[in-house]
A and B are shown apart, each in its own frame.
Chain A
Amino acid sequence: MKILVCMKQVPQKDAPLKLNESGTWIREDVSYEVNEPDAYALEEALRQKEKHGGEVVVITSGPARAQQVLREALAKGADRAIHLEDDAFVGLDALNTARAFAAAIKDEQFDLIFTGLQSDDYGFAQTGVILAELLGWPHATIIMQIEKNDTGIRVKRELEAGFFQFVNMPLPAVLTIQSGINKLRYATLIGIKQAKNKPMRKVALADVQSALTPNLQKIERLYVPQKTKKTETLDGPPAEIAKKLVDKLRNELRIL
């Protein structure tokens, strides 16, 4: 099976975040890591390859720093990587990211595309689903298990409240992978050395520009939740205080 894994670099989970000057996103000077569900998606792809043979290719879009994600994937055992490299990729919405990926892989033939369930930063949970739509492939989300069979694959989806659903699907297909589906491996030191010699294809913004349109979704303002606390003392005889209080609750705070 030939599997493509979409991987994103996101700010480290417990990194202290600072807003950028325009207040639309965070500042770049934080530590980054692999988006957690993407790490599980890669692991699942590597396991499928170990069982059924084939190839694992990893793809990311983002600035030069995002290459770290691909290097780590190559060190863990992916065969080659595709890097859509430009600062502008950071600001794309899910539709445009999916379009950029679809354009970048138009000459490839994959049996499966894995994405993480969602990204730890934007949390859209859309990129994989939209990519499937653009390619005209079936998709399934929140995948907990994948088994190959004669007609395609059988997957286990996580539903609400402890329920699961099993779905038979034809190939090719797109799956969005849930964290915890397997146990992650470590990159080995030898793997890190060998990763240097594996192919990494760079795709420039210009190469996929014609597939993109202005973002449909835009972050207008990002802010730290403001703590507001105001204390006011009401004076007077009890009956009057009660009247003032009801008035405030009803007309100022609108909670009555």
Chain B
Amino acid sequence: MSAIKFKGVDFIEFDSLLTDDERLVRDTTRKFIEDNLVPIIEECNRAGRFPRELVKPMAELGFFGASLKGYGCAGMGNVEYGLMTQELERGDSGVRSFVSVQSSLVMYPIYTFGTEEQKQTWLPAMQQGEKLGCFGLTEPDFGSNPGGMRTRARKSGKEYVLNGEKMWITSGTIADVAVIWAKVEEEDNKVRGFLVETDRPGFKADDVHGKWSLRASVTSGLSMQDVRIPEANLLPGTGGLKSPLMCLNQARFGISWGALGAAMSCYDTALQYSLLRKQFRDQPIASHQLIQEKLVWMISEITKGQLLALQVGRLKDQGKVQHQHISMAKRNNVWMALECARMARDILGGNGIADDYPIMRHMMNLESVKTYEGTHDVHALIIGQSITGIDAF
């Protein structure tokens, strides 16, 4: 159990920009995480264990598919959804990743591209946490450039036959269903999405071992050898690479808020620690200019990041958001959160490297968050493309 209790971070009355409901969603999630995840997360992280026991309680609160409407989902607004992911990630990026994948990368594409029958089959069960999902886009040789993917789907009578490898797939070995992106041979190699039940013959998932990041979340490699699925498992609304990118936009938006949570955890820990820790003339280290400068940097960047995420969320609610807006929020907030983690680590001195405090865990987690869902640099290229009109990939 962490030695320091989170006190909340709000420098410029940010809360006054939120509705009652938005604050209530945030506070409810915060309380749930404080009661249920914070006490066990360091143990999970040490053991490399996903806290599966929290799936059901999280489902009961409505965390899965929270921004979808119907099928038992809560139909929350984007800022509410963002504040929820903020609190999840203040607990742990791995647990937030699990929720993001379940919601934005599996339920969202079924909701957006699926048939009514597919929705009825999967969405209520996934909302309840009875069925878990994973999202297979990345391959061993194609990460930032998914368009090069080698996974193929071939039509054979009333079935599709899938072959290929997917890599770095969150929740791969615990999923009941995988959303697999593959090129369809009969359709000029157009990328389309398929629902693949993970117990089908020829489907194999193995965990990635030796991870130093997101240790409380499952990461897997998938292999498909002549996996036959009924043609009804094609997500009919998908067509081209823009379909998976639409899913990633949902998840990236959540990440831009999630990173704020990790940053808040690091900042608040460092602030409280610096007020208690005394060095030189029996003075708290918070009385030193060098420490104050670090704390000030952190609270300034967190505050700016909150406003950025909020504006992107409001645009999203109005249907006006552009993908480059989401890229900026994801890129900026994950970067600043990682910087906050490093500064906070510094302020805690030797204690900063131990898991009595959450900082080193957040720092290691954020290294993944910086890379997945479009790397920091790839988002620079997306924003760069939008302001110059020139493609620099």
Contacts and interface: CB of A to CB of B under 8 A. Distances in A.
Main secondary structure of the interface of A (DSSP, over half): helix
A190 interface: yes
Interface stretch (A49-57, A99-107, A181-189): A181-189
Given A67-B20, A75-B24, A196-B21, A186 B66 contact: no
B169 interface: no
B278 interface: no
Contacts of A75: 24, 28
Interface string A172-196: 0000000000000011111011011
Interface string A131-150: 00000000000000000000
Contact of A71 (B24, B60, B61, B75): B24
A14 B24 CA distance: 19
B31 A189 contact: no
B: interface residue count bin: 20 to 34
B62 interface: yes
A14 B84 contact: no
Contacts of B209: none
A158 interface: no
Interface in B52-80: 60-63, 66, 72, 74-76, 80
Contacts of B211: none
B62 A190 contact: yes
A20 interface: no
B25 interface: yes
B237 interface: no
B23 A189 contact: no
Contact of B21 (A14, A31, A71): A71
Interface string B141-182: 000000000000000000000000000000000000000000
Contact of A68 (B13, B20, B31, B84): B20
A29 B12 CA distance: 11
Contact of B60 (A67, A72, A188, A196): A188
Interface in A69-99: 71-72, 75
B281 interface: no
Given A14-B7, A31-B8, A186-B61, A192 B23 contact: no
Contacts of B10: 31
A196 B75 CA distance: 13
A15 B60 CA distance: 30
A193 B20 CA distance: 11
A186 B31 contact: yes
A68 B28 contact: no
Interface string B21-36: 1011101100110000
Contact of A189 (B13, B15, B84): B84
B25 A189 contact: yes
A72 B26 CA distance: 12
B128 to A, nearest CB: 12
Contact of B76 (A67, A71, A193): A193
Contact of B25 (A29, A192, A196): A192
A186 B28 contact: yes
A29 B63 CA distance: 31
Contacts of A189: 25, 28, 61-63, 66, 74, 76, 80, 84
A234 B63 CA distance: 69
B75 A193 contact: yes
B181 to A, nearest CB: 29
24 contacts: A14-B5, A14-B7, A29-B13, A68-B20, A71-B20, A71-B21, A75-B24, A186-B28, A186-B31, A186-B61, A187-B24, A187-B28, A188-B60, A188-B62, A189-B25, A189-B28, A189-B62, A189-B63, A190-B72, A190-B74, A192-B28, A192-B74, A193-B76, A195-B21
Interface of B: 5, 7-8, 10, 13, 15, 20-21, 23-25, 27-28, 31-32, 60-63, 66, 72, 74-76, 80, 84
Given A75-B28, A189-B66, 16 more contacts: A29-B13, A31-B8, A31-B15, A68-B23, A71-B20, A186-B28, A186-B31, A186-B32, A189-B25, A189-B28, A189-B62, A189-B63, A189-B84, A192-B21, A192-B28, A193-B21
